[in-house]
Chain A
Amino acid sequence: MTTETLDNRKKPGMIRDDIDPSKWAWWAIILIGLGIAIAFAMIFIPKYNEAFIYLVQGVVITLRVTIIAYILATVIGLFVGLARVSKNVFIYNAATLYVEIVRGIPMIVLILYFAYAFIPIVIEGIHGLGNLALMVLPGNGFFTGMTLYSIRSIPTELRGIMALAVGYGAFEAEVFRAGIISIGKGQMEAAKSLGMTYLQSMRFVILPQAVRRVLPPLGNDFIALLKDSALLTVLAINELTQLSRLRRASTFQIFETFNVVAFLYLSMTLTLSAGVRWLEKRLRIEE
């Protein structure tokens, strides 16, 4: 007489005892299936093929903008995050002001403001400073150069990258701050008792632990930034979304264009997602 445990009994829907389709990752299977379908279309169907060849140029710009903006955002975030845990009144308040303002403004508004309001004012400021300096030191080459500094020297792509970096820097600052305060006070006290200064303890003891802890949200924000790079279309930068709009307008092939664009964006985000997961696994703290 065999004892049947709940695990061994065949459940309805199972093919054999060990094949249970209800446990499969259907979402991944369907997603990969759709991806293969579109990939096939892009190779064999002329409309999809042309769309792909045209749109792939946008992928280069999107990746370039995302990577540069993200590196800048992380650097900004690290320093502002440190400032947010600082006991210095000036540094703390300046950092908090930045974070609260930038976090509260939608990304697209930030981009437009940066490109068409902030940078022109900065250029005017440079001109003004140059003129002032020329009153003191007339004929000076450097200051003359300042008065002639053209807004064209800051191309729109650079402005878009800066806007994204400033926008996401605020979020990274909070991420780093969360990582820093999650490290127990004992660590800082131990480091100080060993004779390290505040900055030394941060650099050698706290931050290495904190950064490893916040890799998940950092990776998350990287993918979010890649999607928000699509907003740069409002500056007429030829990244992927802008190219898809141009193509839709000139060919009227709405369906094909959207399918290829979605495929390209998903390829980028899913690949990066997997890359971030791999990085986390490698650096995971076993606590």
Chain B
Amino acid sequence: MKKVLFSLSVIVIAGILLSACGAAASGGTAGGQSQAGLPDLKGKAITVAVENAYPPFNSIDSTTNKGVGWDYETTLEICKRLNCVAEFKQAAWDGIFPAMAAGEYDMLADGVTITEERAKTVDFSTPYVTVGQVLLVRNDETSTLAQFKSDAQKLVGTQIGTTNEIVAKKTFPDKQVQSFDDFGAAVLALLANDIDGVVIDNVSAAGFMKEQAGKIKIGSQITSDEQLGFVFPPKSDLKTAVNAALAAMKADGTLDALNKKWGLSQ
């Protein structure tokens, strides 16, 4: 009798623990139907990698300590239409492409620029917005882009492994470019007067400007033709479903509204 009670209690406790594990950071309703005309993923759970250090796409809200941003809202909307459950997982930007190529996550949502080089190892969705790169500077900065290029004392920061880094190294002499772990660190260095500018997407520049009200501003535009998309492991079938959802969202204006809300477009 004792043995039966013991094994029963073990099973019950294990069950409670397992169900508690499943409740972490998911969104969307399981069991339901996809919207008309869109593929139905039948409530499947998809892991979405986010960096949580890239406003307004994904960052941690300092008051609620939860992830917020365009990526969160849009992915939840996509999953509503496709009948899936999005599980957000925080991942570091360093090594994210090898991780995606190896299929570690079903999808990466992080304002990723679509490039040919990257498309060799991972798949991209259709572009959802076009952005440009700008030089983010302190509010009291008066130097022009040309002065930045010619003055060896002017240092600019960016994030390792981004198209911003490539553009920064093309625009400024290599010695003046410092590559940080993430843009938060670069903005920190900018505010501490360690560097004079940050080469960053205009959307994220606006995101940081909102966080650091009044201390930083956009100095000059550097490029204007970066297309952003979601990232998938190669040969992923989630890609076609998400593309369909994106097309539907473009057609009925939801994507536009989301872009305007988070500052991706005016």
> Residues of A at under 8 Å CB distance from B?
116, 120, 150-152, 156, 233-234, 236, 242, 245-246, 248-250, 252, 254
Q: Interface stretch among B24-32, B54-62, B173-181, B218-226?
A: B173-181
Bound complex: CA of A184 vs CA of B97, how far in Å?
60
Question: Does any Cβ of A come within 8 Å of B188's Cβ?
Answer: yes
Q: Interface stretch among B40-48, B160-168, B255-263?
A: B160-168
Does B188 lie within 8 Å of A249, measured CB to CB?
no
Q: Using a Cβ cutoff of 8 Å, how many contacts connect chains A and B? A: 47
Bound complex: CA of A110 vs CA of B73, how far in Å?
37
Within 8 Å by CB of B193, from A150, A236, A242, lies A150
The chain A residue sitting closest to B159, CB to CB, is A249
Does A116 lie within 8 Å of B193, measured CB to CB?
no
The chain A residue sitting closest to B178, CB to CB, is A236
On chain A, the residues within 8 Å of B180 by CB distance are 236
Within 8 Å by CB of A242, from B153, B162, B179, B185, lies B179
Contact mask for chain B residues 138-169; partner A; CB cutoff 8 A; 1 contact, 0 none: 00000000000000010001001110011000
Contact mask for chain B residues 85-97; partner A; CB cutoff 8 A; 1 contact, 0 none: 0000000001101
Does A252 lie within 8 Å of B121, measured CB to CB?
yes
Known: A234-B185, A236-B179, A254-B98. A249 touches B194 (CB 8 A): no
Within 8 Å by CB of B194, from A156, A246, A252, lies A156
Does A249 lie within 8 Å of B165, measured CB to CB?
yes
Q: Tell me how far the C-beta of A154 lies from the nearest C-beta in chain B, rounded to whole angstroms.
A: 10
The chain A residue sitting closest to B155, CB to CB, is A152
Question: Does any Cβ of A come within 8 Å of B252's Cβ?
Answer: no
Does B193 lie within 8 Å of A252, measured CB to CB?
no
The chain B residue sitting closest to A120, CB to CB, is B192
Question: Does any Cβ of A come within 8 Å of B117's Cβ?
Answer: yes
Known: A156-B194, A234-B181, A234-B185. A246 touches B160 (CB 8 A): yes
> Residues of B at under 8 Å CB distance from A?
94-95, 97-98, 117, 120-121, 153, 157, 160-162, 165-166, 178-181, 185, 188-189, 192-194
Does A152 lie within 8 Å of B179, measured CB to CB?
no
Bound complex: CA of A249 vs CA of B165, how far in Å?
10
Bound complex: CA of A120 vs CA of B191, how far in Å?
11
Q: Tell me how far the C-beta of B234 lies from the nearest C-beta in chain A, rounded to whole angstroms.
A: 13
Q: Tell me how far the C-beta of B238 lies from the nearest C-beta in chain A, rounded to whole angstroms.
A: 22
Bound complex: CA of A249 vs CA of B163, how far in Å?
10
Counting from the closest, the 6 A-B pairs by CB-CB distance are: A249-B161, A236-B178, A236-B180, A151-B193, A249-B160, A254-B98
Known: A234-B185, A236-B157, A250-B161. A152 touches B117 (CB 8 A): no
On chain A, the residues within 8 Å of B194 by CB distance are 151-152, 156
Candidate in A116, A150, A156, A252 with the most chain B CB atoms within 10 angstroms = A252
Bound complex: CA of A120 vs CA of B160, how far in Å?
24
Chain A to chain B contacts (Cβ below 8 Å), 26 pairs: A116-B189, A120-B192, A151-B194, A152-B153, A234-B185, A236-B157, A236-B179, A236-B180, A236-B185, A236-B189, A242-B179, A245-B160, A245-B161, A245-B179, A246-B160, A246-B161, A246-B165, A248-B95, A248-B161, A249-B161, A249-B165, A250-B161, A250-B165, A250-B166, A252-B120, A252-B121
Does B193 lie within 8 Å of A152, measured CB to CB?
yes
On chain B, the residues within 8 Å of A246 by CB distance are 160-161, 165, 179
Bound complex: CA of A156 vs CA of B161, how far in Å?
21
Q: Tell me how far the C-beta of A160 lies from the nearest C-beta in chain B, rounded to whole angstroms.
A: 12
Q: Tell me how far the C-beta of B6 lies from the nearest C-beta in chain A, rounded to whole angstroms.
A: 42
Bound complex: CA of A233 vs CA of B165, how far in Å?
16
Q: Tell me how far the C-beta of B137 lies from the nearest C-beta in chain A, rounded to whole angstroms.
A: 15
On chain B, the residues within 8 Å of A250 by CB distance are 161, 165-166
On chain A, the residues within 8 Å of B162 by CB distance are 249
On chain A, the residues within 8 Å of B192 by CB distance are 116, 120, 151
On chain B, the residues within 8 Å of A120 by CB distance are 192
On chain B, the residues within 8 Å of A254 by CB distance are 98
Bound complex: CA of A155 vs CA of B185, how far in Å?
16
Q: Tell me how far the C-beta of B196 lies from the nearest C-beta in chain A, rounded to whole angstroms.
A: 9
The chain A residue sitting closest to B94, CB to CB, is A245
Q: Tell me how far the C-beta of B212 lies from the nearest C-beta in chain A, rounded to whole angstroms.
A: 15
Bound complex: CA of A234 vs CA of B94, how far in Å?
12
Does A116 lie within 8 Å of B179, measured CB to CB?
no
Q: Tell me how far the C-beta of B97 lies from the nearest C-beta in chain A, rounded to whole angstroms.
A: 7
Candidate in B94, B121, B153, B194 with the most chain A CB atoms within 10 angstroms = B194
Bound complex: CA of A249 vs CA of B96, how far in Å?
10
On chain B, the residues within 8 Å of A156 by CB distance are 178, 194
On chain A, the residues within 8 Å of B98 by CB distance are 252, 254
The chain B residue sitting closest to A155, CB to CB, is B194
On chain A, the residues within 8 Å of B121 by CB distance are 252
Q: A151-B194, A236-B157, A250-B165 are in contact. List 10 more A-B contacts (CB 8 A).
A: A116-B188, A120-B192, A150-B193, A152-B193, A156-B178, A236-B178, A236-B179, A236-B180, A236-B189, A252-B98
